[in-house]
């Protein structure tokens, strides 16, 4: 009964994470909305006085809550990843054939037993490697229907694994102007969609930022996004997932305006 209990726990954790993401999205929209200071914008004017056009206590409270949620989100994502690895290993053990000398059942009996055993759904075992955390307005990602909180399971021919960064880069470069099939998890349900990398008025050809899975171990860019006065600033920190929250995946290789 370990697998069913672990599966139920994992689904519950995913629901908790989805609730966190919804709250995080609401805070981000509040901070980055028209007239907002952004995620890290100054709360004082050029002379060092508190800005009169923003609610400073509310901004500080929202930023503090967002930092708390991000930390909790990282912890719960690590727990989900650990559970998924265990579930995956349990499934492999279930379907592994017995050595010929120890098999005392006919093929038909073995097949029936395998089919009757409770299996872990592919939607649980297929591990997302990224979560969409920011989408620029009017970007290709936004126009193609991607949403905040979507979990990326497959990007074209790319799934989680080794050399993830270089494979994502190559996939985006090879398909500029062409629809790339995506497999995503949205609010707990797996679905198929497409996104087309293309030139637009913003940077890159997709216009989104992703939060990476702790299982995706590769060099990344830490992107601090600040929206203030219509300007966007980024800062390259070159860290692994354990040290960063925001990561830029396939935009690394795309043209910058």
What CATH number corresponds to the domain at position 183?
2.30.42.10
The whole-angstrom separation of Cα 222 and Cα 73 is 17
Rounded-to-10 torsion of CA 35, 36, 41, 43: 80
Q: What would the two tokens of residue 178 be?
A: 């062409």
Q: What is the pLDDT of residues 103-135, one digit of tens each?
A: 444 443 333 333 433 433 454 456 788 888 778
Distance CA 194, CA 240 (A): 28
Candidates 240, 257, 14; CA nearest to 125 is 14
131 shares its domain with 152 = yes
Domain housing 43: 2-122
Residue ranges of the chain with pLDDT lower than 50? 96, 102-121, 123-124, 213-257
* β strands within 88-207, DSSP E: 130-135, 151-155, 180-186, 189-195
When divided into structural domains, the chain yields a total of 2
Cβ atoms within 10 Å, residue 31: 20
- 10 and 108 inside one domain: yes
What pLDDT does 146 receive?
Answer: 92
The residue out of 122, 145, 162 marking a domain boundary is 122
Same domain as 108, residue 78: yes
Considering the domain architecture, whether residues 152 and 215 belong to the same structural domain is answered as: yes
Q: What is the pLDDT of residue 68?
A: 93
Closest CA to 120 of 85, 152, 88: 88
224 and 113 share one domain: no
Looking at the structure, tell me whether residues 12 and 83 fall in a common domain.
yes
Structure-token match 């062409």, residue found: 178
pLDDT at 192: 92
- What is the pTM for the complete model shown? 0.43
Same domain, 132 and 77: no
């Amino acid at each position: 009964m370990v697998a069913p209990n672990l599966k139920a726990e994992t689904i519950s954790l995913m629901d908790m994470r989805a609730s966190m993401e919804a709250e995080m999205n609401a805070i981000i929209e509040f901070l980055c909305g028209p007239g907002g200071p952004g995620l890290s914008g100054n709360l004082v004017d050029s002379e060092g006085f508190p800005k009169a056009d923003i609610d400073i206590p509310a901004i500080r409270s929202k930023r503090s809550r967002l930092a708390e949620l991000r930390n909790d989100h990282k912890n719960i994502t690590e727990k989900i990843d650990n559970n998924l690895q265990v579930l995956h290993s349990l499934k492999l053990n279930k379907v592994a054939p017995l050595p010929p000398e120890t098999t005392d059942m006919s093929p038909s009996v073995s097949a029936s037993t395998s089919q009757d055993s409770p299996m872990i759904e592919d939607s649980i075992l297929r591990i997302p490697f990224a979560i969409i955390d920011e989408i620029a307005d009017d970007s290709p990602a936004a126009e193609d229907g991607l949403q905040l909180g979507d979990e990326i399971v497959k990007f074209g021919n790319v799934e989680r694994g080794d050399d993830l960064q270089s494979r994502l880069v190559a996939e985006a470069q090879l398909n500029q102007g062409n629809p790339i099939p995506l497999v995503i998890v949205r609010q707990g349900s797996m679905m198929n969609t497409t996104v087309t990398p293309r030139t637009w008025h913003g940077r890159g050809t997709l216009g989104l930022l992703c939060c990476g899975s702790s299982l995706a171990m590769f060099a990344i860019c830490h992107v601090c996004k600040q929206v203030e006065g219509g300007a966007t600033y980024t800062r390259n920190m070159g860290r692994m997932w354990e040290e960063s929250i925001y990561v830029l995946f396939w935009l690394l290789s795309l043209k910058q305006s």
